[in-house]
Structure 1
Amino acid sequence: MRILICAAVLALATSSVSAQQATHPIATQSAEAPPTPTYTQLDAVTVEGAQPGPGLWQANKNGHTVWILGTVSPLPSGMQWQLNTVKDVIAQSQEVISPPDINIQANIGIFKGLFLFNRLRKMDQNPDGKHLSEVLSAPTYARWQRLKSRYMPNDKDVEKKRPMFAAGALLKAAYAKSGLSDKSLIWPAINPLIKDNKLKVTSTSIKLKIEDPAQALKEFKDETMNDELCLSSAMNLLENNIPAVKARANAWARGDVARIRQLPIADRNSDCVQALMEAQVAATRGLRNVPATLRSNWLTAVDAASARNESTFAVMSVDMLIGKDGYLASLKEKGYEIIEP
């Protein structure tokens, strides 16, 4: 049976997370909340109904085009994406390049898989049954209590979770109260189009095979991780940036790329990815140099696809595309002409 090891942790290290880390250097920061930034003219509500989504970036070279859909997460929970432009591009393309992520697999028998399931269920809990009050610093725990009482006051089990998993639960609850959702909208919509057009899908993932899944799960369950900053980063976002997160979600839905550029969000994920990569269970099994490897994988795939196809379609986080050190800048250095949507 094919399983994803540490699925919930890896959710922090897939496309929109690891890729963002590649364009946002990991900063050393205190667990204290930073000063609150000022945002003006932000949306009071989230948009609903049919929305066009953003246009596509074009990366042109030697008469061939790579069309890039930039994604944002979370998005308005009440919107329906009208993907007419994407539908036309996929219909004329010969290949799809998926976002870079981390794909960790293990081939095990069905009975061993059932045996491992119980370990997997408890993987998100702190070692030795400790509560967050025992593993967080006093200032961080005080901030956590304030936000938990606001967004998830009746969830007692979350107190047993590791800080990075508590961060995910807190964000999910806060997004729901803000009319937002981090549930995937893109791939459920475009997968049928890819299948109908019989397109090749090129992975840019880091593929890591776990030969000892039982031991890996045991080590992860028993290992203490330095992930307080991961939770602190999530809390910083909720304390300071939720209006901008909502405005970015609306801007994506309306197709307003210029507005997205005006609302940069501090990367909350780099500290989470850093904690994961520093974990012994990951390092000893080859999970190293993630940002550089993901960037290299994606750029190599784009070069190869562009050389053989007249039209290629790619999906990528907006945060990793734009900016001085974004992937679009790397494409320009490689001789591509970039046309903005």
Structure 2
Amino acid sequence: MRTILAGLMLAAAMTGGAARAQAIEDPEANVVDALVVSAKLPGPAWWRVSDGDTTIYVLGVPSALPKGMAWDRSVLERRLDGASVLLTPPVWQAGLTDIPAMLRLRGQLKDDGDWIARSPALAARTQRAWSAVDPKNADAWRKWKPAFVALQLNNKANGEAQLKVSEPDRTISDLARKRRVKSRPAAVHKAMPMLKTLVREHSEAAGLTCLSETLDATEAGPAPIRAAADAWAKGRVKDALAGPRSAERCELLMPGVVDLKRQLIEDEVQALADLLKTPGHAVAYFPLRALVAENGVLDKLRARGITVRTPAEG
């Protein structure tokens, strides 16, 4: 679902608009050092949110993992046993009636190539990167606007690097299902209102900056992503957070997405706070950086006076 959201935002972004300087406002740029600690237990890092009679074990997850990457699931399996629920990130829904509008939107992403003449250095980088991941269709990118080029290039590079954007989410959900633990999203949002906002308000500069960000990550190759994934699997939180964030930064360039990111954090905070009303224990997983960011999920819970224990405490 995170991948679908990113794709929709990028796909909606470049439907027109005048170019202007575009800075990136990043509400998750800074992290709380006290929360960024290595795990005591084997496998990925867990935090614990608790009150008098409830404990919620919270796992921070990356946006993707290399295909077939092994990670220790023993702590996850143990904590799923007897859990009241598996709380997952917010989800975005679109109905069948929204499909025609989405298809029309995609059609508006065709481009006459003017941006290539205006940004020759960026176009040359794009040609090299695209040729490396799709040599049979080396010029296919030229018919699309920059933001959609960035989306496709990112997807192709992920495929070349054998990154699975469905992981570790799918494995977590499968293990919960086997233990008959029901999953529940922190919130449910409709996709189309967001897309309509993105169509109305956009800038050409956002697409160009997004493409540049994507090229930075593509040119660096898969090694930084794999290193961050390996650190995540071994509970080294600081190193896991050091991975490239080009896709996230692209999202942040789109109109309304910064506020949306903050809303998702509020959704997760409230869902955890509400879950504390149910005695026993539960399991949750949310994006790692959103958990440990300043004014992120765990920071906001602590501000409410809720007890948060770090991975160093086991």
Percent of residue pairs identical: 19
Q: Which residue does the alignment assign to 1:181?
A: 163
- 1:239 equivalent in structure 2: 219
1:152 matched to which residue of 2? 134
Query: Which one of 20, 29, 38 corresponds to residue 24 of structure 1?
Result: 29
SS at match of 2:276: helix
**Whole-angstrom distance in 2 between the partners of 1:71 and 1:233:** 22
1:28 maps to what in 2? none
1:191 is matched with 173
For the Cα contact (< 8 Å) 1:172–1:182, is it kept in 2? no
Question: Which residue pairs with 1:41 in the alignment?
Answer: none
1:42 aligns with: none
Equivalent residue number for residue 259 of structure 2: 289
**1:9 corresponding residue in structure 2:** 8
Q: Which amino acid aligns with 1:194?
A: A
Give the match for residue 311 of structure 2.
340
CA contact (8 A) 1:97 1:203 kept: yes
Shift of 1:139: 2.8
Quickly say closer, same or farther: Cα 1:160–1:132, change in 2 above 3 A: farther
Contact 1:68 1:313 in 2 (8 A): yes
Paired residue for 1:106, among 84, 95, 104?
Answer: 95
CA 1:203–1:168: 2 relative to 1, 3 Å: same
Q: 1:162 to 1:11 in 2, by over 3 A?
A: closer
Distance 1:62 1:162, change over 3 A: farther
- Closer, same or farther: CA 154–97 of 1 in aligned 2, 3 Å: same
Task: Pick one of 303, 310, 321 that aligns with 2:273.
Answer: 303
Match of 2:144 in 1: 161
Q: Is the 8 A contact 2:43 2:75 kept in 1?
A: no
The 1:264/1:147 distance shift into structure 2, 3 A limit, reads same
CA deviation vs aligned residue, 1:24-57 (integer Å, no higher than 9, x gap): 38xxxxxxxxxxxxxxxxxxxxxxxxxx741422
What SS does structure 1 have at the residue aligned with 2:245?
coil
SS at match of 1:277: coil
| Residue 59 of structure 1 pairs with residue 30 of structure 2 | no
SS in structure 2 at match of 1:307: coil
Give the drift of 1:228. 1.7
Q: Which residue of 2 aligns with 1:48?
A: none
Q: Give deviations 1:104-134, integer Å, cap 9, x for gaps.
A: 42353xxx96xx2xx6457445545434854
The alpha carbon displacement at 1:323 in A equals 4.1
- TM-score for both structures, normalised by structure 2: 0.72
Q: Indicate yes or no: 2:81 matched with 1:76.
A: no
1:227 partner amino acid: G
- Unaligned stretches of 5+ residues in structure 1: 14-19, 26-51, 279-286
Letter in 1 for 2:74: N
Q: What residue in structure 2 maps to residue 229 of structure 1?
A: 209
1:160-181 CA-partner distances (Å, limit 9, x unpaired): 2332332232223333444x40
- Structure 2 SS opposite 1:24: coil
The answer to whether 1:267 aligns with 2:245 is yes
Aligned mates of 1:330, 1:92 — CA distance in 2: 27
Aligned partner of 2:232 among 252, 257, 261: 252
Give the drift of 1:205: 3.4
Which of these residues, 160, 184, 207, is aligned with residue 202 of structure 1? 184
Are the aligned partners of 1:67 and 1:313 in contact in 2 as well (CA < 8 Å)?
Answer: yes
Q: State the distance in 2 between where 1:292 and 1:198 align.
A: 32
Separation in 2, partners of 1:55, 1:220: 39
Question: Does the 8 Å CA contact 1:6/1:120 hold for their aligned counterparts?
Answer: no
User: Which range is displaced more, 62-71 or 152-161?
Assistant: 152-161
- Partner residue, 2:155: 172
SS, match of residue 135 in structure 2: coil
**How many residues in Structure 1 have an aligned counterpart in Structure 2?**
282
Paired with 2:131 and 2:291, the residues of 1 have a C-alpha distance of: 36
CA contact (8 A) 1:69 1:315 kept: yes
In structure 1, C-alpha distance between the alignment counterparts of 2:291 and 2:118, rounded to whole Å: 34
Report if aligned partners of 1:65, 1:312 keep a CA contact under 8 Å in 2: yes
Distance of aligned partners of 1:196 and 1:242 in 2 relative to their CA distance in 1, 3 Å threshold: closer
CA RMSD of aligned residues (A): 3.8
